[in-house]
Structure 1
């Protein structure tokens, strides 16, 4: 009797399953389940992320995943996950993974919420994380160096001089990061070809792009790479060959903790929608097919891939930021927010230049405004603001948010928000979830009509977002360019003279 009931239940389950698209995991998680136990050390699913208002992406700083170009974050992984973050109403932050072998451990420990780095879906990885629907497929290819006289060879001669079959890899030294999908593939190939491949562990933290560069410069002879990435990076060198495949097409996907089913479902739904809109294909083409853009970001002076400068105004930021006690990268982040580094930027209100100061603030006519004058006048106004807030907000990090908000919306509205925080029992010296809450809500009659709100109605959402975006961009700069906040502190005895301004 029990056996009959079991068979009936099984039949019902399979009949129900026929109404779903099994290949895209529409079945409930208990029916499609898995492979391994919950390995995550933290629980932070979609609901918690929305409540927090922030999503953290784990990825590398390289020429396709994530980089800074003229002060603006870019990259396939960054643009796609940023689009997803906006679709669920949260802000995106980035945690740069220095050693890609640690990415899944960082995911499980809660350092980030989504891992995205051209990640190959493998069975061994499925025991650690949950993968989304595939974004695209790619093959692994052998990266090798052409002979010194390759320009004088015809194709037949070149093919003869190079490895064109995986069988030829027997007894060859091939470098790969231990724990990578490339290392797994080399181990499998070594069994398949009936001859031992000498797999050499790459130095910890060395990226695939760096290994490809090592092949080009002759430090090593062979490595493996995903074909889409190899196609871009090999374009920087004229002596590399990537035409020998070593795998079948493999799925590339995002990864989440295995205790985040709602986040996984939201990502999958987003992927389905973006497939239809062609967003994913267009973004892929931008970073993996556009060789001209790839060449530009490799050689551009203000790209994190090719240099250590964020903008043409870094030196001016280093000159004036000590007056505020700020890291120069924070000032650069604010300059980008104000003008996107356009010295001729002008707002509807008449604010002009890199720091968008008004003529009444800077005492400088727009025709006479230079980048240095704009930064100097902006910093002077920030100093006036900071001198006011230092009396009531002693914590320097907290005070930065007060300074930025006051610069954007005017100090009076921030004073109102602070007074409202006092009235409602919150901390008037803390920004997040305290003063920021009331600034965000100063467009509501309940608050702007309050007798203690002397400056009245305010579109606080704009200033609130301004602070978040400047600080988030600053953190991105620190992730890539370093986090030494005191590297440009003013030397003893040095002074920088700027005029005193009263308003923005």
Structure 2
């Protein structure tokens, strides 16, 4: 049923005519058609439907900005494998493929490198790194990998001749990571940026970087298209110079290492055992405020671990850890779990409304949550400091870089609200982002929202691959959570 609805929505959103292009049809010149056809894989590092029901991903955002800068329409075509993208590009079925390592491929040229990655060996958390590396190098186990890492493995085989692997033609890094987490694969070699993101969702895995040297990611295009290559080079020079690329990288990867393995495993256990008691109230808070119930729940976990009796040394208390002043302002009893959840959600929305005319999403949400932790006055000081330092006060990535300065006299003495432990809201928000990401993988939104379709951006998915952030190939939710709980117990022991 789900696949039928996805296919139906694709036809309704993009029109039958968009789907009629034959797979082998040669793409028209982008300069003539003013439309860029871009091949991309589905995944948390490239393109997916996020927790809010919008298209997201580093590659999606970068391509959209590139197209807007050059007054182009863009048509994303979702592919099942990177090798398929390269083959289709060699046949000139598209203008560009994104998300792969800088390499030498016949008939293709690469644009400006924009991100460093490395190959990561992924294995069960019950296995030590030493044992895993020995098993791989001595040929005691087969390594599953993607086509782009074959050259690195061939180089490693010169010093470890017993090494052997199998190439997975269709799929992406997260799918391999997931199979290791489920025990279906022993070892996988994947992209480091994908592994770092996925470790929050699969904390029963471990990784090692002692396999291959670092690589750079770059967009790839037919070698004849030097004009497109020049435009890409100009685009990335601008993105680097004005800090836009740094801010985007922070949006997707700036928080991925904040929650450690044991914390993530404990969280998964409480999602199964504790969250059901309060879920209906979090959903009611969403209905009242419009905030995603999973964000409210993640905030509550960050504050109290869903403990309505929680009390801090500074006097904040309850499941949302409200101050007495905030509880009175929201007209709620903070010791009552239901009232605390509703009051906390309304307070977040109030903080967001204060920032509404200045900061875009998702930055506005993260800035509001920083204010929830440190107070709006200190957030105002941090944004003032950001302006002084020629940073963007509406960017969470820029504001979080100056927040820790609020504890230094040379800075706080020049600001209205004075000293603050500015590092704490950074840790607070980054941890909350991780908890929210995890919860979005295990819990569905209260209502299905189809991605907003732009007049200049189209996403085609002819293979009907699942694009939602919580719909990759997984066992059902209770089974996954039970598996995580068992792994937590074995790791702790």
Give TM-score scaled by structure 1 length. 0.48
For the pair shown, the structure with the greater C-alpha radius of gyration is 1
TM-score by length of structure 2 reads 0.49
Structure ranking higher on relative contact order (CA contacts 8 Å, 6+ apart): 2
